């Protein structure tokens, strides 16, 4: 392993340790925000594949999450599957969503694709509301089973943090391997110049569907984890504004990069809690922040921070050189 | 010599406008074949038809003895046809070497799932792509700028980088749409050398170019079109003395004095 990779690994481990320590010392309300942060990270990492890298607008994230969550609930409660089997069924759920939503994205662009994905999210929500015998309708769906990890049996929501953390780390590792590989490059090539990508022999249609599928699998997993964490689902929790939130995370943190996505998830998850005292004015503040960011830092915060780190590292090395 | 590309009575209409009209031509394997004509005469459209960017209205395109009419662009590219664009089309958010590496995407066979699971194999595949991309950059004389973001490169370097990306796909035929346009004389000289080198290394070039120094210097064969129709075909000397070509395109000063 070279020096740079070792440094990155150290950074990741430091971040994880800090996260766990902060979680352990927090009160139960703040702990619930931490749990929310974890599945938000998974979702925004998924969205990054299709919207961040491939450049296809997706405002249906919450629909993907809801489908995963309800499927997990129905499989574990109604069908009596074990939570682990139900969790791995999320690959199939994501695959199906990816195909269904991926195809329109081949024909529709920009505004029209946004509308289609909004429509998808709304359809899922309306189905959840109206298929009462399956989903419990507006009464909600409850008593969803949780994952157990060998002897580790999570008793309450906070215990579930550690199980979700394992999957978050896994999601980060997989995202890293995809983003910084030939796949990440090919997705970005489609975003930057589809015509040139195709002329280089890249099958754009296939890769767009693939990126949609990745996003959907991530969202379905996030949904299943959310269902196990909350043990209760209600259609009123799956509205469009959540999909918008994920886009905001992507924009604020830094489109395309893994640390940027995580940073965005942290900011957008924490901001409402920090600005709670503003009550209804919160949205005005939040939207203003988003607009200002979009104008001043269209690439998001992470590239800025990355440059700062790089400069810091350089001057530190320079200092060390002088001392020795 | 064998024919690598053949256009058989190709026609393209955009609504009422006939951009390419009943055009037939043959490009011989290993040659440098130029397509020239006034602005708007249908040269870029012809390139787009060859690579399947949009469907032909009539006629057939054959590449390496296979009918490629109506095939999607990426499949035609995989059969060994690469191109550069009249208006530079690079991936602006990426570095120069990443741009070239994207050209090699289809040469790296691992699928998404296997490249996730087989860490060592996918690393060596990545290394292979990187090494090859570096060789391509070196070949076109851009070895020193691999790490730079494309959007920060000067125009002339971008033009050359497009060639490197195209070469990365291991093409048998390279379509070049006005590669020397906008270059200064020294850059142009370099470009002519580069094209000669690529050709000497066994690749067939199909070249659209306005600059007569470039065209007359390096082409083995020229096809001249006007309003989408072929008006002449031949070697540089033949074309320079063809009265129709002089009238429609070249003007009197290009006539070779005897
Ligand atoms: N996509 C298109 N849709 C409609 N008309 C087009 C399109 N592409 C080219 N044309 C028209 O076809 C004609 C030939 O254009 P083009 O092939 O770009 O010429 P050249 O490359 O020789 O300058 C022009 O009149 C142009 O306006
Ligand atoms: Mg043109």
Q: Which CATH number fits the domain that encloses residue B197?
A: 3.40.50.300
* Interchain contact, A182 vs B85, CB within 8 Å: no
Cα of A175 to nearest chain B Cα, Å: 10
Residue B191: phi and psi, rounded to 5, are -65, -40
> What is the residue with the minimal CA distance to atom 9 of ligand 1?
B45
Cα of A44 to nearest chain B Cα, Å: 20
- Whether residue A12 is contained in a domain is answered as no
A142 vs A77, A179, A242, CA distance in Å?
Answer: 9, 37, 21
Percentage of chain B exceeding pLDDT 70: 96
Burial A149-170 (b: 16+ CB within 10 A, else e): eeeeebeebbebbebbbebbee
Percentage of chain B exceeding pLDDT 90: 79
Say yes or no: A197 contacts chain B, CB-CB below 8 A. yes
CA angle B118, B121, B123 (to 5 degrees): 105
Can you tell me whether residue B2 is helix, strand or coil? coil
Q: Does the predicted TM-score (pTM) go above 0.90?
A: yes
B67 vs A206, B57, B230, CA distance in Å?
Answer: 23, 15, 22
Mean pLDDT to the nearest integer, B204-227: 90
CA angle B115, B119, B120 (to 5 degrees): 115
- Distance, CA B45 to ligand 1 centroid (Å)? 6
- Distance, CA B43 to ligand 1 centroid (Å)? 8
**The pLDDT of residue A324 is above 70:** no
Q: Give dist(CA A206, CA B257) in Å, integer.
A: 57
Pairwise pLDDT comparison (B220 vs A298), residue with the higher score = B220
Q: DSSP class of residue B93? A: T
Among chain B, residues having any CB pair with chain A shorter than 8 Å are: 51, 53, 72-74, 77-78, 82-83, 85, 89-94, 98, 101-106, 108, 112, 115-116, 119, 122, 125-126, 129, 165-166, 168-169
Pairwise pLDDT comparison (B101 vs B249), residue with the higher score = B101
Q: What is the structure's pLDDT at A55?
A: 92
Tokens describing residue A300: 């998001």
**The pLDDT of residue B245 is above 60:** yes
- Whether residue A295 is contained in a domain is answered as yes
- Strand partners of residue B18: B13
For chain B, how many structural domains are there in total? 1
**The pLDDT of residue A150 is above 80:** no
* Interchain contact, B89 vs A256, CB within 8 Å: no
- Strand partners of residue B95: B149
A124-136 pLDDT, tens digit each: 899 988 898 888 8
Q: Which of A250, A235, A303 is nearest to A44 (CA)?
A: A250
Please give the residue range of the domain that contains residue B53: 3-80+171-254
A262-275 pLDDT, tens digit each: 999 999 998 888 88
**The pLDDT of residue B114 is above 60:** yes
- Beta strand pairing call for B17-28 and B3-14: antiparallel
Mean pLDDT (chain A) is: 89
Q: What is the structure's pLDDT at A128?
A: 86
Please give the residue range of the domain that contains residue A152: 30-323
Alpha-helix residue ranges (DSSP H) falling in chain A: 3-25, 28-47, 61-73, 83-107, 110-130, 132-135, 157-179, 182-192, 194-199, 204-230, 240-253, 258-274, 282-296, 301-323
Are B82 and B37 in contact, with CB atoms under 8 Å apart?
no
* Interchain contact, A195 vs B112, CB within 8 Å: no
**The pLDDT of residue A151 is above 80:** no
Q: Give dist(CA B118, CA A181) in Å, integer.
A: 13
Say yes or no: A203 contacts chain B, CB-CB below 8 A. yes
Are A50 and A58 in contact, with CB atoms under 8 Å apart?
yes
Chosen from B47, B73, B170 to mutate, greatest number of chain A CBs within 10 A: B73
Q: What is the structure's pLDDT at B258?
A: 43
> Which residues lie closer than 8 Å to B119 by C-beta, 6 or more apart?
A177
Lowest mean pLDDT among A223-227, B2-6, B251-255: B251-255
Alpha-helix residue ranges (DSSP H) falling in A110-180: 110-130, 132-135, 157-179
Mean pLDDT to the nearest integer, B101-119: 91
- Whether residue B207 is contained in a domain is answered as yes
Number of residues written out for chain A: 324
Lowest mean pLDDT among A116-120, A312-316, B192-196, B218-222: A312-316
Q: Exposed, middle or buried, B6 (CB in 10 Å: 0-12/13-18/19+)?
A: middle
Of A174, A191, A195, the CB nearest to B89: A195
Structure ipTM: 0.92
Q: What is the structure's pLDDT at B19?
A: 95
Q: What is the structure's pLDDT at A297?
A: 85
- Cα-only R_g, chain A: 20
Chain A environment of B103 (Cβ under 8 Å):
200
**The pLDDT of residue B146 is above 80:** yes
Chain A environment of B77 (Cβ under 8 Å):
198-201
CATH number of the CATH domain containing A178: 1.10.3470
For chain A, how many structural domains are there in total? 1
Residue with tokens 């609930």: A73
Q: How confident is the model at residue A309 (pLDDT cuts 50, 70, 90)?
A: confident
**The pLDDT of residue B248 is above 80:** no
Q: Could you tell me the sign of the dihedral formed by the alpha carbons of B64, B69, B71, B72, in that order?
A: positive
Q: What is the structure's pLDDT at A322?
A: 65
Largest CA distance in chain B: 70
Residue B248: phi and psi, rounded to 5, are -80, -30
Chosen from A55, A190, A196 to mutate, greatest number of chain B CBs within 10 A: A196
Q: What is the structure's pLDDT at B252?
A: 56
- Distance, CA B39 to ligand 2 centroid (Å)? 7
Q: What is the structure's pLDDT at B29?
A: 96
Cα of B178 to nearest chain A Cα, Å: 16
Mean pLDDT to the nearest integer, A274-294: 81
Q: Give dist(CA B30, CA B36) in Å, integer.
A: 19
Q: What is the structure's pLDDT at B100?
A: 97
A60-73 pLDDT, tens digit each: 999 999 999 999 99
Q: Give dist(CA A245, CA A268) in Å, integer.
A: 7
Q: How confident is the model at residue B254 (pLDDT cuts 50, 70, 90)?
A: low
Q: Give dist(CA A188, CA A254) in Å, integer.
A: 14
Q: What is the structure's pLDDT at B256?
A: 53
Q: Could you tell me the sign of the dihedral formed by the alpha carbons of A266, A270, A271, A272, in that order?
A: positive
Mean pLDDT to the nearest integer, A313-319: 79
Mean pLDDT to the nearest integer, B25-43: 94
* Interchain contact, B51 vs A199, CB within 8 Å: yes
Are A160 and A38 in contact, with CB atoms under 8 Å apart?
no
- Whether residue A13 is contained in a domain is answered as no
Mean pLDDT to the nearest integer, A177-197: 95
Ligand 1 cavity residues, CB under 6 Å = B 14, 17, 19, 37, 39-45
Residue with tokens 């395309």: A256
Give first-to-last CA distance, chain B, whole Å: 31
Cα of A272 to nearest chain B Cα, Å: 32
């Amino acid at each position: 392993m070279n020096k740079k990779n070792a440094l990155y690994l150290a950074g990741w481990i430091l971040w994880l340790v800090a996260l766990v320590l902060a979680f352990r010392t927090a009160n139960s309300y703040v702990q619930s925000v931490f749990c929310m942060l974890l599945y938000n990270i998974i979702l925004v990492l998924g969205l990054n594949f299709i919207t961040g890298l491939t450049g296809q607008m997706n405002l249906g994230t919450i629909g993907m999450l809801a489908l995963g969550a309800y499927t997990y609930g129905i499989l574990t409660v109604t069908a009596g599957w074990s939570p682990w089997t139900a969790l791995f069924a999320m690959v199939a759920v994501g695959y199906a969503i990816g195909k269904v939503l991926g195809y329109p994205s081949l024909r529709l662009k920009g505004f029209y694709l946004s509308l289609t994905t909004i429509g998808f999210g709304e359809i899922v929500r309306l189905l959840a509301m109206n298929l009462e015998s399956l989903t419990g309708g507006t009464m909600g769906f409850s008593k969803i089973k949780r994952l157990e990890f060998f002897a580790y049996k999570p008793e309450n929501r906070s215990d579930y943090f550690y199980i979700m953390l394992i999957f978050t780390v896994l999601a980060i590792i997989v995202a890293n391997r995809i983003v910084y590989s030939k796949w990440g490059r090919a997705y970005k090539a489609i975003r930057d110049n589809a015509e040139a990508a195709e002329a280089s022999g890249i099958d754009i249609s296939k890769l767009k569907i693939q990126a949609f599928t990745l996003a959907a699998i991530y969202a379905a997993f996030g949904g299943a984890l959310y269902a196990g964490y909350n043990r209760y689902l209600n259609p009123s929790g799956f509205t469009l504004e959540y999909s918008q939130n994920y886009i905001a995370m992507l924009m604020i943190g830094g489109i395309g990069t893994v640390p940027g996505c995580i940073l965005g998830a942290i900011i957008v998850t924490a901001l409402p809690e920090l600005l709670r005292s503003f009550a209804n004015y919160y949205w005005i503040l939040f939207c203003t922040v988003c607009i200002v960011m979009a104008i001043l830092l269209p690439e998001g915060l992470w590239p800025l921070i990355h440059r700062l780190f790089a400069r810091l590292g350089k001057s530190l090395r320079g200092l060390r050189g002088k001392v020795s | 010599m064998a024919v690598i590309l053949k256009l058989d009575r190709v026609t393209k209409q955009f609504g009422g406008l006939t951009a390419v009209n009943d055009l037939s031509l043959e490009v011989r394997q290993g040659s440098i074949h130029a397509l020239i004509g006034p602005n708007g005469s249908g040269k870029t459209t012809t390139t787009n038809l060859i690579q399947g960017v949009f469907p032909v209205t009539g006629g057939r395109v054959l590449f390496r003895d296979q009918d490629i009419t109506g095939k999607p662009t990426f499949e035609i590219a995989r059969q060994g046809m690469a191109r550069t664009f009249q208006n530079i089309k690079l991936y602006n958010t990426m570095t120069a070497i990443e741009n070239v590496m994207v050209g090699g995407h289809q040469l790296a066979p691992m699928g998404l799932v296997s490249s996730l699971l087989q860490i060592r194999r996918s690393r060596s595949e990545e290394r292979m792509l990187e090494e090859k991309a570096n060789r391509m950059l070196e070949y076109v004389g851009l070895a020193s700028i691999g790490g730079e973001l494309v959007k920060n490169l000067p125009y002339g370097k971008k033009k050359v980088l497009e060639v490197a990306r195209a070469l990365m796909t291991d093409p048998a035929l390279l379509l070049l749409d006005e590669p020397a346009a906008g270059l200064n004389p020294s850059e142009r000289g370099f470009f002519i050398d580069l094209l000669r080198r690529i050709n000497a290394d066994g690749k067939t070039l199909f070249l659209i170019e306005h600059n007569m120094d470039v065209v007359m210097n390096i082409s083995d064969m020229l096809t001249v079109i006007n309003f989408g129709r072929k008006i002449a075909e031949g070697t540089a000397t033949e074309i320079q003395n063809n009265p129709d070509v002089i009238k429609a395109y070249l003007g009197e000063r290009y006539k070779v004095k005897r």
